[in-house]
Structures are given as C-alpha cells and as structure tokens.
Amino acid sequence: MITTALSEAFGQYTLKPHQIVPLDFHSVDTLPETHVWPPPPGPELVNTAAGDGQLVFPVPVIDFSVPEDSSGKLMVEACETWGVFQLVNHGIPLEILAAVEAQTKRLFALPASRKLEALRSPNGVNGYGQARFASLFDKNMWNEGFTVMGSPADHARKLWPDDYQGFCDVIEDYQKRMRELAARLLGLILRSANTPAQEIRRISSPSATMTTLQLNSYPPCPDPTRAMGMAPHTDTSFLTLLYQGGVKGLQIFSDRGGGGGGGGWGMVDPVDGGITVNVGDLLHVVSNARFHTARHRVVLREARQRVSVGLFFVPTADCVLSPLACGGGGGEGEVCRYRAVSVKEYIGLKYKGFETVLSAITK
C-alpha cells in the first residue's frame, strides 16, 4: 500500500511515449540535435590542478566507524554547508557494491529491444526509461534508467525470462541494506541537530518512510561537452544515497567555491568504496532551511560508460511535513520558513514549477 500510494502520487502526471523511451545509444555515432544542450548559465569553475579541467569540491568524507557523537556532528555540518558528504566504513560490504554495479551493467548491456520489454508505463514509476523529470526539459539527457519501487521481479522477468532471480536477489539485498543505512543516517542527523525523539520517530519510522532505487547508465557519448548526463535538479527525498562507482560525473552547485561570489559547479570525486549522501528537498523543509538541499547534475567527461545506483529515502505520500523547529524541535521561537505540506502535494507542486517549488510553500 505504501509503494502504491507514492506511485499514484507520481502517476497522476501521465507521460507520453517519447518522454519515456530513451535513445538507442548504441545505434548513433553523432550527437542528435535533440540531445545538444546549450552552455549552462553561470560559471563552470576551472581548476587546472584537477587534471581534467574540472574543479573538485572538497565535500566532507565522513568515517561512519567513529563514535556517533563525532560523526553526527560532522554530518550536520556537511548538511548545513554543502548539502553533500561522502560516507566511508558505512557497513555495506564492497562485494555487495560490486555485485549491484555488475547487475546494473548487465541490465544496460541488453539490446534496446529487450530493455523496452520492461518499459515504464505512461503513469508508472517502475521499470526502464528516461527519468520522470526529464519531461520537464526541452532537451533530452544522455542517460537511461531503471526504477525499482518494491520488488523488481515483474520487470526483471521481462528482461531475463529464464534468468532473472540473480538480479532480483542482488537488488533486493542492496535495497534492504541501504534502507537500513539511510534510516540510521537520518536518525543520527536529526538527533545531532537536537530534534526531539518523538518528532524523529514520527517522520522516520518504517511505517512513515519508503525507498525508491534508481539504476542509471551514462553510455559513452560522441560529443560529451555538448551533452548533459543528468540535468540540474534537486531530489524529492529526505536523503539520497548514491553509489557512484569509479567514474566521475556528479557535480553540485555551491556558493562556497564560486569565483567572484557567484557560485559555480564542482565535481564530487567518488571515494573508493564510498557512498555519496545528499540532502533532499524534504529534509531541507523539515530542517527549516538549516540543511542545504543539494542542486546537482551529471556531466559527461570520460569516454566510457558510467553507472550509478541511487537510493531515495522518502516519506510516504500522505505524510504531512513542516519545519520541526516550529513544533518545539531544536529551535524554540524560530520563525517557520515553510508551511505544512503533504508529500503528494509537494510532488504536484514540483511538477508544476520545478525551479520554484520551495517558493510555493514559503510562508
């Protein structure tokens, strides 16, 4: 029922077939005009010391094996400043990360005709296709995805009719482990920010939260400097936990690195075996804007495939959120920046105004 409710929240925005079906990337040797992006506004910061002309932002790398008092404080500071940190010694075995990366590559290596057997429905969330928010942009992105909300079995059977169980076993094990990690992280961050225990339980209990898993592939591109792997956006989540693999591409926008005070884009260089954690819109809201929702994108710079696996830790669709500081949580007397909003309403507002959704709930 929980997954159905969130699927319905997204599914009220029906897509057209061309908004779902990715390009057959293996059938083209030049960049189609439909995938040529104009130069993005704002500076792209350059640091020649980075080796490839891309600035690498020094986002915190946090060791989860140290005492929680210390790691929790560091997480709060990272959420306040960057909205992103990388987590090491997180308890997810390296062989599990390698297995999910291998299954992701196995999926996207299938012929286009086979992948289309598992195509997402026009009002669905699960299955193969372009990212749902791709429909909000004029140009197409150079990626393909596979979304798992609940069990992947129905779609996996269409991909591998006689050999789908191995994929399901790896994906379901990964989902379970990452959900447990996400719940621990959210609880620790909120406790370290002096949020009352009853408020933490209300918004982060198993019955109040769920996960969506997103497998992404960014194939080699014939003209990567004019294409966009993933357009700039923020996540509709409490937290997003991303395994990047070993290929760079994820950038965040930050004022902290900007020349002339204007801000700019910088790379989040993947740490071996690390998990990249970023703040989503909904944690930004409940923190009363204390935590910075991370605006990010994926650029194409390497002439090889990049895959990533993101887990979105989200409240259920009917959950009503408002700044916890205004309910006695960690900031008595603080002025609320946002009104109360249900997750379902927030999703609707984001589809109507992708760049202005937070303004729509500002008091």
The end-to-end CA distance of the chain, in Å, is 32
CB neighbour burial string for 92-104, b if at least 16 within 10 angstroms, e if fewer = beeebbebbbebb
pLDDT of residue 156: 97
CA distance 208 to 202: 7
pLDDT of residue 157: 97
Domain count, the chain: 1
Residue type, 187: G
Residue 121 — φ and ψ, nearest 5°? -75, 160
β 239-243/341-342 pair status: unpaired
Domain that holds residue 280: 2-360
CA distance 160 to 102: 15
List the pLDDT tens digit at each of the 363 positions of the chain.
455 555 566 656 677 878 899 999 989 999 999 999 987 555 554 433 334 556 889 999 999 999 999 999 999 999 999 999 999 999 999 999 999 999 999 999 999 999 999 999 988 889 999 988 888 888 999 999 999 999 999 999 999 999 999 999 999 999 999 999 999 999 999 999 999 999 999 899 899 999 999 999 999 999 998 999 999 999 999 999 999 988 899 999 988 754 445 578 899 999 999 999 999 999 999 999 999 999 999 999 778 899 999 999 999 989 999 998 775 444 456 799 999 999 999 999 998 888 899 999 998
SS3 269: coil
CA distance 176 to 168: 12
Of 322, 294, 72, whose CA–CA distance to 189 is shortest?
A: 72
pLDDT of residue 3: 54
pLDDT of residue 181: 97
Of 352, 341, 358, 344, whose CA–CA distance to 10 is shortest?
A: 344
Listed in sequence order, the residues at least 6 apart from 265 whose beta carbon sits closer than 8 Å to its beta carbon are: 40, 42, 43, 44, 45, 55, 251, 252, 253, 297, 299
SS3 13: coil
User: What sign does the dihedral 346-78-256-265 (CA atoms) show?
Assistant: negative
CA distance 60 to 256: 13
pLDDT of residue 18: 81
Instruction: Say which of 132, 295, 301, 306 is annotated catalytic.
Output: 306
CA distance 21 to 316: 28
Task: Determine whether 306 is an active site residue.
Answer: yes
Half-sphere exposure of 140 (CA within 13 A, CB side): 19
The CATH number that applies at residue 207 is 2.60.120.330
